[in-house]
Structure 1
Amino acid sequence: MEKKTLAIVGCGKLATLVADAYRDNLLPEYELIATYSRSKEKAQHIADKINTVDSGSTCIPCASIQDVLAMKPDYIIETASPNALKEFALDALKNGSSIVTLSMGAFADQAFYENVIKTARENNTKVHIASGAIGGLDVLRTVSLMGKCEATFQTEKSPNSLRKSSVYQESLQHEKKKVFEGNAIEAIALFPTSVNVSVAASIASVGPENMLVSITSIPDFVGDNHRIEIKNEQVHAVVDVYSATAQIAGWSIVNTLRNIVSPIVF
């Protein structure tokens, strides 16, 4: 069977985890042919992991996203940022490459979301939304199909994870405080890289404008604690996911890639 070709855009810790899974033969139906990152060193590092003597693979660290697209990979793994996804997604889909993304926060932009759907349909390509640091997207989607429902997304974080945001203040190091309450569109605008999962949950259910999001800062907290809740007249579902690190997000990409080629899909 001919292997499907892969490229990685965004070569940080999560991409490294995917590359390690690839080296450990957890993705035997794929061939990783290209990497790209704003940091040439990071792209080279992952390519070097693949280009071992016994791997039989040649992975090229690319100098630009255009170089990646020129290689026409079957799938592009995106672990960079919502802005990065916006920059290349339409060109990739037109080019025949499907996308596996963690930056679903980009889809809070309704115009971009609709353009992606239209472009993917016209070019027989797809965008696969990895579950990232949450779960239960199938339950959310199922409940939403049943009729009118409401949903909430609550997150607990360390104050240190909020340092680069406008809500941060030193007092958060000593007091528990709800620092944000609004919908998923407002949340991703304020926290461009840390609440992508709230947009994923909203797309699977009530939509970004209707998903109520709250973020609470807790002193000395480690990791992320997410609670997703959805209700209709017949169903009340709660999904709780705590993760000490972001590794689950990288593994969700591995799981998505395995599902794509599996005869049995979870």
Structure 2
Amino acid sequence: MLTLGLIGYGTVARGIVSAFPPDSIGWIALLRDGASPALPANVRAVTRLDMLIGARPKAVMEAAGQEAVASYVPAILEAGIPTVIASIGALCDPALADRIATIRRKGGARAVLPAGALGGLDYLRAIAALPDARVRYTSRKPPSAWQAELATLGLSAEHEELMLFEGTPDEATRAYPKNLNAAFAVALAAGVGKVTVRVIADPKATGNTHEIEAESAAGTASFRFTNAPAPDNPKTSALTALSLVAALGELLDVEGLR
């Protein structure tokens, strides 16, 4: 049985585990002290990083948020364990991004940055070198996905769409660390300085919608992805787990682990 690691066990991690045959993979899940989620028989919980590394999983999937990337991923890569990073917004911290890049250059394990709930990133990477390239990314979700944020602001988007945020990818990632990893995926592809991010609560939205508009000397392009929300978390697209499963499967193939 192949041993794989997880950091966290929330909505995304559950989707990842359920996508693989339970009799073919044993999972080691690193959880914070006090966490007690219901775990299937093929998932074993540990509460210390050294226990996860000591289990020598063939690869690790991070699905616990930006703080988890900073706290755990560098050491896992240094231990030679390939890692898929779901919370790529953590890389808006230049010190962390440089540290991970340095580890990889010095022979550390591969770090995979999946597309998550998006597509079209290959186009953005292609135009990134053009000095006139400009990209606008818009996250458009139903008001139910932003209940806490709307309540804090004393606002309602019951009848008309409401823009909650407009700014840079760094600002967006820090303002919404659990919800705008997609924005930083766009920024990594196109270049941070070329991207503007908007967050909109839209009562007409039928799902979690990602809109990308790009202009450059190469032409114009627009992408729109309307993703069904995860069943138990309206802020997360169900596609996110599917994207991570695909990234993990590709990593296992590249590493010759299956």
TM-score range, shorter chain: 0.7 to 0.9
Aligned counterpart for 1:41 among listed residues 21, 25, 36: 36
Report how far residue 45 of structure 1 moved: 0.6
Match of 1:199 among 157, 161, 184: 184
- Cα contact 2:138–2:199 (8 A) shared by 1: yes
Q: 2:126 aligned with 1:142, yes or no?
A: yes
Aligned to 1:53: none
- Does structure 1 residue 259 correspond to structure 2 residue 250? yes
Whole-Å Cα distance in 2 between the matches of residues 24 and 134 of structure 1? 28
In structure 2, relative to structure 1, the CA distance for the partners of 1:156 and 1:9 (3 Å cut) is same
* In structure 2, C-alpha distance between the alignment counterparts of 1:100 and 1:168, rounded to whole Å: 35
Q: 1:99 & 1:111 partners in 2: Cα distance?
A: 19
Residue 185 of structure 1 aligns with an amino acid whose one-letter code is D
* Partner of residue 10 from structure 1, selected from 8, 11, 22: 8
> Where does residue 100 of structure 1 map in the other structure?
84
Q: Equivalent residue for 2:232?
A: none
Q: Distance in 2 between matches of 1:195 and 1:75?
A: 25
Q: Give the deviation of 1:19 after TM superposition.
A: 0.9
Letter of the 2:117 counterpart: A
Q: What is the alpha-carbon distance in structure 1 between the residues aligned to residue 204 and residue 31 of structure 2?
A: 32
Q: How does 1:21-40 map to 2 (within 5 A)?
A: 21-23=19-21, 31-38=25-32, 40=35
Which 4+ runs in 1 deviate beyond 3 A? 145-148, 163-168
TM-score (norm 1): 0.83
The number of aligned residues is 245
Aligned runs of 1:83-232 on 2, under 5 Å?
83-145=67-129, 148-165=132-149, 168-207=153-192, 209-219=193-203, 221-232=205-216
Query: What is the identity percentage for the equivalent residue pairs of Structure 1 and Structure 2?
Result: 22
Q: CA deviation at 1:84?
A: 1.1
- Alpha-carbon distance, 1:236 to partner: 2.0
Please report how far the alpha carbon of residue 201 of structure 1 lies from its aligned counterpart in structure 2 after TM superposition.
1.0
Listed one character per residue, the Cα deviations across residues 130-151 of structure 1 (whole Å, up to 9, x for unaligned) are: 2111111222112214554111
The alignment partner of 1:252 has SS state of helix
CA distance in 2, matches of 1:235, 1:97: 41
Gaps of 5+ in 2: 230-236
Q: Which residue of 2 aligns with 1:56?
A: none
Unaligned runs of 5+ in 1: 51-58
Paired with 2:99 and 2:48, the residues of 1 have a C-alpha distance of 23
Conserved? CA contact 1:93–1:125, under 8 Å = yes
Q: Secondary structure at the match of 1:163?
A: helix
Higher mean Cα deviation, 65-74 or 225-234?
65-74
Cα distance in 1 for partners of 2:2, 2:217 equals 44
Quote the RMSD (CA, aligned, Å): 2.3
Bigger mean CA deviation after superposition, 75-84 or 117-126? 117-126
Distance 1:223 1:71 in 2: 39
Paired residue secondary structure (1:45): coil
Aligned counterparts of 1:195 and 1:35: Cα–Cα separation in 2: 24
Range 174-183 or range 245-254, more displaced: 174-183
- On the 8 A contact 2:5/2:52 being kept in 1, the answer is yes
